[in-house]
Structure 1
């Protein structure tokens, strides 16, 4: 179904920077992608909202929003209606448009679905900007300044012990020097057994991170980390509910294990609160959940000002490119068999390659992330039925 939006007259439409073309249209497409390795009984697919933006000079940019479980239809609706109605006719400069759009949408929430939807437009505008000069994203952001390190990651709390050890063995065989596993089992003794088994499998020379995915309260986290610290942990990720800053302050006083968080923190202001409180050692912004590249760069700069490491969350093909623009090497997450390339949804070769534990940027224009016209896993998947109106477009009149 196609929908039409009438933009303001050219004489009255806000145009942002004087030399930036205006946005003429924004269209979306919902793609449901079954996971090769389910992330649990209730997470067997991910959802992508492909975004295509066109400017008034005829150039196109391609981006996406993303969610692993719920909210895809709501994010698409925000893009198709509120975001498109505001953006069409305005500047295509992402750094000009982002703060204006965020203020406009703030009544619907400062982050979460709001910023997830915003990312679809922001990524498409950065792609458009790079394509105008036949450049890749890294070049557009100032060039490559470091070579990111990739770590093996698994959504594996539901794996049997044998399956977990086999996965850890694959990470070793692949050449990863750092790996991450899930914790938060109903019985602490099971977590101890599983972490011990992975440490034995990867050996003492590799870094081991654990991720509780917000499963613990403060007392559970303290007990668990007391029991697990002996396995030489590089960090504990999301030990507590992500929006409970006071609990993180208490945990900082009770453990020496470095704390990582950020995949469920959605705004620069919230990251600032955690950084000022001194409770985080590694921040992990998800470039889609925070609203796109524009917001991600602000958060990364903020973390740098506090001397705190940034390790982007998921989205290897995008996170790897952003990490390559950092002044010092950083860790980039590669969840086993869950990259866009591994899932078979890309229309062209991936913009990054992984060699051992090293990420290499390939030659490409823009983001280098375009989805196939009919991916092998499109629209219908274990998560639910196809969207009855999977593709919509908002345009300004000619």
Structure 2
């Protein structure tokens, strides 16, 4: 029996705005950050969870974690995991905290960190990685992890069990593939940040091709001619007829008519999909864009979104409206593993592939588990998963790619346990003599103009 005895939060920020890593049309200069939750216990184990942000506001998420975490302080771990769906509903049911959601925004970001910390702790006590915890469950046990409130008009618990049973026969084979690191093909965004110069982008793309990548994503949404020039450089590097796939991402910068007109101009570069073409809340807008891009002279351009989609209810509506060809849930913007399981099953019901959002610190560490769960347990079909090659060195068990596939995590837990020295070094606002944020170099960010 393991009891949760307390919790701590950490505000950790990496100064990625200095080199424009992560830059896109909407977010010109983010500092990749983690609002961190650590659960202490009366055992040798701790639970680690985090939510990804891009700097300012990270402290607000930490405050929200401090408001939610007392709900589980003093609880036995077994009492939380025995009926996970019931526990999840309990965690979103504090009526006063719910008022500032419900189940969205900062309070839901905090919930994602807390729920994932519980899963990390549970997996460590079971001596398994999180993906294997789920893979070893029966269909009924997986479904008991989910709160089906608000989604039974699209997916019932009985339907979910039936969907999982349909792919049970070959699950053992898929587990073996996962154990050989052949379950989750990777794609790269590392060359495509909008703030990178064209020569740097070209060099990084060529390096990615040599490294065995077959899928490449570039940021768009600036000047149309600049977008055309950058995509032309990308196609020169990866080819049109070599089996390499190009994807583009506008990060919400356009209105619906702008998205349609801009993407018709970019259709000549044959992108698989346009990601976040408009407001992440505009279900009907995405549906209109998908309809308009179904038949361009250069072929169909799909529509993808999800990194800013706040809960299973929004995903349900996107699917019901036929608005998406690719679904991209974020591991911690929604309410942790449990809500991700609901979203994976909704996508399976509607026949839409899962390609999780993975472009941020700690996200590849998380999402490698989710994509493995999708392949092994839920869909039985391989998809692809974003990989960004930075900041992994700060984690005890960093995500990595080999031969074009994610190396399946086998260490117990959820893979986001950060090294203590990294936490101290990049703690915000931090301690004198310890934190980078107290150095002279940090003044460039702290005292410089805000980039909007």
Q: Same fold (TM over 0.5)?
A: yes
1:141 to 120, 134, 139: 134
Deviation at 1:139, TM superposition (A): 1.4
Deviation at 1:153, TM superposition (A): 0.5
Is residue 2:250 matched to residue 1:216? Answer: no
Q: Secondary structure in 1 aligned to 2:201?
A: helix
Q: In the alignment, what sits opposite 1:361?
A: 408
1:263 to 290, 296, 307: 307
Is residue 2:39 matched to residue 1:53? Answer: yes
Q: In the alignment, what sits opposite 2:283?
A: 245
Q: In the alignment, what sits opposite 2:80?
A: 92
Deviation at 1:31, TM superposition (A): 1.4
Q: In the alignment, what sits opposite 1:329?
A: 382
Task: Report the Cα distance in structure 1 between the residues aligned to 2:292 and 2:28, rounded to whole angstroms.
Answer: 33
Is residue 2:348 matched to residue 1:307? Answer: no
Mean CA deviation greater in 271-280 or 127-136: 127-136
Q: Secondary structure in 1 aligned to 2:80?
A: coil
For residues 277-317 of structure 1, the C-alpha deviation after alignment (integer angstroms, 9 at most, x for no partner) is: 00101110110111211111111111111111111111111
- Judge conservation of contact 2:39–2:47 (CA < 8 Å) in 1: yes
Higher helix share: 2
Q: In the alignment, what sits opposite 1:391?
A: none
Q: In the alignment, what sits opposite 2:105?
A: 112
TM-score (norm 1): 0.84
Is residue 2:119 matched to residue 1:131? Answer: no
For residues 329-380 of structure 1, the C-alpha deviation after alignment (integer angstroms, 9 at most, x for no partner) is: 1211112x33x42xx312x342x43113111214311123311112154434
Mean CA deviation greater in 233-242 or 29-38: 29-38
- Judge conservation of contact 2:220–2:227 (CA < 8 Å) in 1: yes
1:373 to 417, 420, 444: 420
Is residue 2:212 matched to residue 1:175? Answer: yes
Consecutive unaligned residues of structure 2, counting only runs of 5 or more, are 137-173, 295-300, 375-379, 429-435, 448-452
- Judge conservation of contact 2:194–2:219 (CA < 8 Å) in 1: yes
Task: Report the Cα distance in structure 1 between the residues aligned to 2:15 and 2:369, rounded to whole angstroms.
Answer: 25
Q: Secondary structure in 1 aligned to 2:92?
A: helix
Task: Report the Cα distance in structure 1 between the residues aligned to 2:256 and 2:68, rounded to whole angstroms.
Answer: 39
Q: Which has the higher contact order (CA 8 A, sep 6+)?
A: 1
Q: In the alignment, what sits opposite 1:189?
A: 225
Task: Report the Cα distance in structure 2 between the residues aligned to 1:353 and 1:158, rounded to whole angstroms.
Answer: 24
Deviation at 1:158, TM superposition (A): 2.0
Q: Secondary structure in 2 aligned to 1:53?
A: strand
Mean CA deviation greater in 207-216 or 160-169: 160-169
Q: In the alignment, what sits opposite 1:228?
A: 266
- Judge conservation of contact 2:40–2:47 (CA < 8 Å) in 1: yes
Q: Secondary structure in 1 aligned to 2:9?
A: strand
Deviation at 1:159, TM superposition (A): 2.2
Consecutive unaligned residues of structure 1, counting only runs of 5 or more, are 1-19, 386-398
Deviation at 1:33, TM superposition (A): 1.7
CA pair 263-64 structure 1, distance change in 2 beyond 3 A: same
Task: Report the Cα distance in structure 1 between the residues aligned to 2:415 and 2:260, rounded to whole angstroms.
Answer: 43
Deviation at 1:58, TM superposition (A): 6.5
- Judge conservation of contact 1:43–1:69 (CA < 8 Å) in 2: no
For residues 104-158 of structure 1, the C-alpha deviation after alignment (integer angstroms, 9 at most, x for no partner) is: 2321112121221111111111111111121121211115645001001045212
- Judge conservation of contact 2:21–2:195 (CA < 8 Å) in 1: no
Higher strand share: 1
Task: Report the Cα distance in structure 2 between the residues aligned to 1:106 and 1:261, rounded to whole angstroms.
Answer: 25
Q: In the alignment, what sits opposite 1:151?
A: 187
